[in-house]
Amino acid sequence: MSQADLALFLEAAVRLGIPLAFAALGETITERSGVINIGLEGSIIAGALGGALGALAFDGAGPGVMAGAVAGLTIALVFTLFAVGLGADQIITGTAVTIGSLGMTGAVYQARFGATGTELSLPTLAPLAIPGLSEIPVVGRALFAQAPTAYAAYVIAPVAWYVLFRTSWGLELRATGEAPTAAEAAGVRVRLVRAGATLFGGAMAGVAGAHLALAHAGTFAENMSAGKGFIAIAVVVLGRWNPILVFFAAMFFGAASALQFFLQALGFDVPYQLFLAFPYVLTLAALAGWVGRSRAPAALALPWEPRR
Amino acid sequence: MSGSVAPARAREAALLGAGAVVLTLGTGALLLLLGGYDPAAAGSAMVRGSVGSWNTFVSITLVRSVPLLLSGLAVAFAFRAGVWNIGAEGQLYAGAVAGVWVALTFSGLPRPVLLAAMLAASCLAGASWALVPTLMRLRLGIGEVITTILMNFVGIYMAAWMVHGPLQEERGVFPQTDRIVEAARLPTLIPGSRLHIGFALGLVIAAALAFIMSRTRFGFHVRAVGAAPDAAAVAGRIDTRRVLMITFLASGAIAGLAGAVEVSGLTYALYENLSDGWGYTAIAVALLAGLRPGGVVITAIFFGALRAGAGAMQRDAGIPAAWVDVIEALVILAVLGLERMRASRVASLSGGEGP
């Protein structure tokens, strides 16, 4: 692989890793509060459609990203009402929300653009090269000639770490996920914290979806989230619920996806469908081989209600 | 956890299910109205396309309910033991591939032997697809929700590769297998209709599961582990790992069977996208049935009718069939919501703490 090839590969790795990073960082905060949101996939696909419609309506990728965040948050709101508000089972609620969101986005897309799927051309989220930094050999363009969302992710990962481990907010959030009853006794409003953390996760997943539509494809396609929400949840496990590690785990998966296209471009004769299966197999292998002693928040996935 | 989604009594489960259906249809109509559609036209197209005539009911609705019946039973059985098998979709594809492979490879065998071999192979394949998440849960303590979902994607792409590669038809034009021989096809159940023996097979398995759950020691263990695994292990001296393993693998086997039955009974060849998300619909089927095998028979037919009606809705009223997925999600949410309200009412009546 020549140096130019390597630079291209790294650039693709970061570009593909960014949406996973957004979704996984949001889910890290959500899970730290004791909620596992399997509906993340639903927020991503809603964010992709919201991003597409927003970018068309306001004729710009920036408003598209905002619209994507709102769409992702709206889907997470449905999840929150049932899983946090009513204390319903989180796994089943999340599955329902994902099924419903995939169906709803498909129906809206077909109603708006026709069942055949007229080719939709969107304002794209163009790369923004940072002068100086982007000229560093090999890694410069990979890290610093990305869409603006990438720079947001670079900032969000350390900030999320700081808030989580160095502020009283973060302490309350983690207490909610580890020992909700004790947290409530100490004056933390457990359900409010969980709702906030879940909605934040939904908005982040919405941005991830908008990034998919606006920075990658330049279009919307039904089911374009293609399981990224589930991979993001695995990424949170691999990153051991630590935002910094989660960010790097997301980049690792971005690299794996980039490798998939790269090997194909280099003419390796592996059937296309097996290429497509690769990220999922890799996720399973990574979960099996790497998780080891990492520990989930103690109250993860357990519904909680205040004592009356 | 499954205690919170499985009502204790059959009558309660039926009431809850009926309430959820009413709630769902109401919300669905409202959403259609908001989307600018005519709910009345949608409703009448749906009724016509699903139960409009005896032939529609048997050859479309019941035929569509077969994979939902089998995969719904698979999900209900797993959920009863607290095994969150979201992987019926992948297990179904594994079963379909194994079944069609047997049919194409051993096409010279006599009919009973060939059919038995196909169905057995599909069970084995479905169970092996479930084996990976099972081992990851029992050996490594990794929850099965994400792993089963990931295995779904692997299964879908594996099947896609098969029909593009090793198992592609002789002509090599379309991404599908050759048609299986007569001897590998399931007989028709009702002469003159498309309904095949697979439906009866589903009923038999439902009856068997109902018997196991309510009348056998193992069924009692499954329910105990599902309700409270720690208590089952400590107080009941139940080998929870063994119960979880058997239930998980059996669930995978039944889902695998769904794939082979569809190929052998209806399509006679394996296509890419054989399943229209049946493995996920199965979750709605199982929950609406209160995780009861007998109830699954009814809810599978209900969802079969919805799927059949959705086709007519798209044709006659121009409403995207994707709305059916929204309806499925609403059903699940309605069941969860009503169940939570019932639980908190019971809790306040008994004066105790919340569940």
Q: How far is CA A265 from the centre of its chain?
A: 27
| Token pair for B334 | 């309605």
A305 touches chain B (CB under 8 A): yes
Q: How many domains does chain B have?
A: 1
Neighboring chain A residues of B136 at a CB cutoff of 8 Å: 284, 287-288
Structure token pair of residue B250: 């059996």
Residue of A124 and A300 predicted with greater confidence: A300
In a domain, residue B329? The reply is yes
Are B150 and A230 inside 8 Å of each other by CB? yes
Q: Is A236 helix (H, G, I), strand (E, B) or coil?
A: helix
pLDDT category at A130 given cuts 50, 70, 90 is: confident
Q: Which residues, numbered 88 to 107 in chain A, qualify as contacts with chain B under a Cβ-Cβ cut-off of 8 Å? A: 88-89, 91-93, 95-97, 99-104, 106-107
Distance of CA A140 to the CA centre of its chain: 24
pLDDT for the residue A60:
84
- Report how far residue B40's alpha carbon sits from residue A46's, in angstroms, rounded to the nearest whole number: 28
Question: Is B286 contained in some domain?
Answer: yes
* pLDDT tens series, chain B, 355 aa: 444 456 567 788 888 888 888 888 888 888 888 888 888 888 899 899 999 999 999 999 999 999 999 999 999 999 999 999 999 999 999 999 999 999 999 999 999 999 999 999 999 999 999 999 999 999 888 889 889 999 999 999 999 999 999 999 999 889 999 999 999 999 999 888 899 999 999 999 999 999 999 999 999 999 999 888 888 888 778 899 999 999 999 999 999 999 999 999 999 999 988 998 899 999 999 988 989 999 999 999 999 999 999 888 888 888 888 888 898 899 889 988 888 888 777 776 665 444 3
> Using a CB-CB distance cutoff of 8 angstroms, which residues of chain B are in contact with residue A95?
86, 280, 283, 332
Domain membership flag for residue B300: yes
Per the domain annotation, does B188 fall within a domain? yes
Contact B354, A305 (CB under 8 A): yes
Query: Which of A33-42, A211-220, A277-286 shows the highest mean pLDDT?
Result: A33-42
Distance, in Å, from the CA atom of A225 to the CA atom of A236, rounded to the nearest integer, reads 17
- Average pLDDT, integer, range A40-47: 96
- Identify the structural domains of chain A with CATH numbers, from first to last: 3-118+139-290 (1.10.3470)
pLDDT digits (tens, 9 = 90+) for A205-261: 999 999 999 987 778 888 888 889 999 998 998 899 999 999 999 999 898 888 877
Smallest CA–CA distance, residue A197 to chain B, in Å, is 21
Residue B354 located in a structural domain: no
Show the tokens assigned to B188. Answer: 């028709």
ipTM: 0.89
- pLDDT value, residue B203: 97
What is the domain-level CATH number for residue B222?
A: 1.10.3470
pLDDT of residue A293: 55
pLDDT for res B256: 98
Report yes or no: A129 at the B interface, CB cutoff 8 Å.
no
Contacts of B22 (CB under 8 A, 6+ apart): none
Token pair for A293: 């002693």
Query: How far apart are the C-alpha atoms of B261 and B244, rounded to whole Å?
Result: 26
Range of the domain at B322: 2-345
B334 assigned to some structural domain: yes
B57 domain-assigned: yes
Check CB contact under 8 Å for B142 and A305: no
pLDDT at A117: 53
pTM for the model stands at 0.90
- Confidence band (pLDDT; 50, 70, 90) for A287? confident
Cβ-defined contact of A281 to B146 (cutoff 8 Å) = no
